[in-house]
Structure 1
Amino acid sequence: MFKVCIDPGHGGSDRSNRGPSCYVEADGVLAISKYLKEELESTGQFQAILTRDRDKTLTLTERGRIAARNKVDLFISQHTNAGPKGAGGTEVYYSVDIPGDRELAAKLSAAVAQVLGIQDRGAKTSESTRYPGEDYYTVIDKAQDGGVPHVLLIESAFHSNPDEERLLLQDENLRKIAQAQAKVICEFFGVQYSQQANVYIVQSGDTLWGIAQKFKTTVEEIVKLNSISNPSLIHPGQELIVGSIEVDKVQPAPQPENGDEKVRELQHILNMLHITDTNGKVLVEDGLYGPATTSAVKKFQGIAGIQVDGSAGPQTMGVIKQILAMPVTKRGSKGAVVRYIQFRVGVGIDGIFGPKTEAIVKKFQSANGLVADGIVGSKTWKELIG
C-alpha cells in the first residue's frame, strides 16, 4: 500500500489569502484535500494522511515533518494562487533536489488545467536566493530533507482572478480538481483508478437541464442513473447521481527534455550494480524517478545499511561513489562497501569482511577465472560491477 501525505495549505491563524469575492484559500484547499484523500483511498491501494483536517494553524516546518515522520511515498501541498491582474492557470512546483519529479508535476498541472478549462503553466522549481541549491518553499524543503522521495506543491488556479475564483467557489469544481489529481497519482504508482460517482444536491430553482449542463452530461443520462419516472418532479434537497467526471489522458506542458539526465545516470548505475526494482526487474533508463526507481533505491539502501527512504540523497550517492571507486577490500574491512560485496557474492550481509566472507569471495573468484586470494581488487570488482 502506498502512503500519501496531503497538505491543505494555510489555515488557522493564516486565513488572509482570499479572492476578490468571498473565496478563502485555506477553506478551498482543505475541501480539495479531503476529496483527494477520499478518491485515493477508494482504490484500496493508498493510505492518505492529511496534515490538517480542520481549520488549524501549522508551521511550514511541521507540515514537512508530518510527511517525513510517516515515511510517505508522496507529499503534495495544496494551494491556490494569487498574482497580478489577469494572471491565471495551474502550476506545480517540485523540489530542486528531485529533478525526476518534473514529469509528475507537469502531468498534474495539465490535468487540473484541463478539467477547469484554464491555462496550464506547467512544472516548475523555485530555488532559494538566500540559500542557493535549496528550495525556496520551506514546506518542500523540509519534506525533501526528511527523506520523502516525491514532493510537490500544486497551485490549482488563481483565486485572485475573478473568473477563476468563480470556478473555485463551486464545490463540484473542487472535486474535479481532486479527481484529476487522483487519476495522475494513480497512474504514477501503477494503480487502477475508477472515479467515484458525483452526487449533486438539488437546489431551489434547479432544473434537470441546468444540472446536466453544469456536469456536462444529458438529462437522459441523469434520468437513467437515478430511475426518475417524472423528470419535472425534482425537489430541493434531493440527491442525484450525476456520473463521474471524466478526466481524459492529458499531455503535460512541453518540457525541455525527455526525462532527467541525472536520474537516467542513477538508473544506469543501479543497473550496473545489479540492483533491481521490487519486482526483480532491471530499471528502464528513462530519466523518470517513478515507483520502480524508488523501490530500487530503497533496495540499495537496505543493502548498504543506510536510511531506507527511496531518495537518492547525499548519503546514498556517497555510498555509490565509494563502491564505484572499487577500493581494495579484504579481511578486516568494514562498512557499506563490504555489505555490497556480501550482497553480490551471496553471503549474509553484516558489513564485516570476516573468514566466511573471504571464503565466499574466493569461490566467486574461482568461478570467474580469477586468482582466488579472497581480496577484492580491480579485477574482482570488474566482475562484481557491470
Structure 2
Amino acid sequence: MKIAVDIGHNCAPDTGAVAIGNENVLVMDVGRRVISKLRALGHNVLPVTPTDCSSVSNSLWQRVSSANGWGAELYVSLHENAGGGHGVEVWIGSERSRAIAQNIVNNIAALGFRNRGVKVQGKDGPHLYVLNNTIMPALLVEGAFVDSAEDMRRFNAEDMANAIVQGITGQTISGVSLSTEPSTPATAGGGTTSSTTDESTRRLQEYLNSLVNAGITVDGIYGSATRAAVARFQNIMGLTADGIAGSNTWNAIKAILARPLSRVGSRGYAVRWIQWRVGAAVDGIFGNGTRQKVEVFQGNRGLNPDGIVGNLTWQQMFK
C-alpha cells in the first residue's frame, strides 16, 4: 500500500501544542516509528511533513499536495491533542477511512487511554484541511492530550506507534531502525549502485517514472537503467550527474512533489522541473521566457493561460 504519513506540525511557524508534553516532540517520536515499521512491513511510505514553510496554510498545502501528487492510497496525519480533556480520538474525512480509524482508536484505547471514538469532520467538528483536500481515504489521529497529566504518564511512543501500525495493517513489528531519511544506495551501499535492492529504490523508480518519464521497471534493483534515469534527473536539476541518489537528489524530488505555487520570480528545483516539462531554458529562475512557455502549455490543455503554475497546471504536468 502507498501510505502518506503526515507527522503533524514540526515546521515553524506550524508548531504544535506545548503543556506537560510537547506535541512536536511526541508526534515526531511516534511518526518516525510508524514510518519505519510500515516500511519494514513492505509498505511504500511517503513522509509528507515539509522542511520549510511560509505559514501554517502553506505547511498544510505542501503536505496535501505531496500526497495527492504521489498517488497515495491512504493519508495518515499524526497529532497529539490539547484543551483540557484526555484520551484518544481519530478524525475522518469520509466513511472510506472509518474502518482503519476505528481500529486505531480501539488499539490506542487498549493501552489505557480513554476512547473518545471516531469523529467525522463537519459533523462532529470543523473541517480539517488535510482531510478536506486529500483525494484518498484520510484520517487524523489525536493520540493523547499533552495537557493531561494522566495521558502523559501513560504515553509511550513505541506502544503508540505499534497501535497505529496494527490499526492500519493488522500487523506489528518491533526493533526497526528509526532513520529519518530514506535508505538510498548512496548511503546504504557506501555510494555504490550495484545490486542494491530495497524499498527506497522502488520509491525512487516510481518517482523517476513520474517526473522524467524514465520508463524503468519498478523492481527495487538499482541497476544501470535506474542509474541512467537518476543521472538524467540530476542533469535537469543542475546536480552532479553521477547516477547516485544522495541527499541532494532526494531533496530535489521532494521539492517537486511538494508542488509549490510557481510564477515569475520563483526559483529552485521545482522551477527547473517546470522549465524542462514545458520546454523552456532550464536555469531554475522563473522568468518571462518560462512564463510564456507555461502559457502555451496551459492553452494546449484548456487551462487559463495565466503563466502561473498552480494546482490545476501541476496536475496536467504529471500526465
TM-score (norm 1): 0.42
TM-score, with length taken from structure 2: 0.50
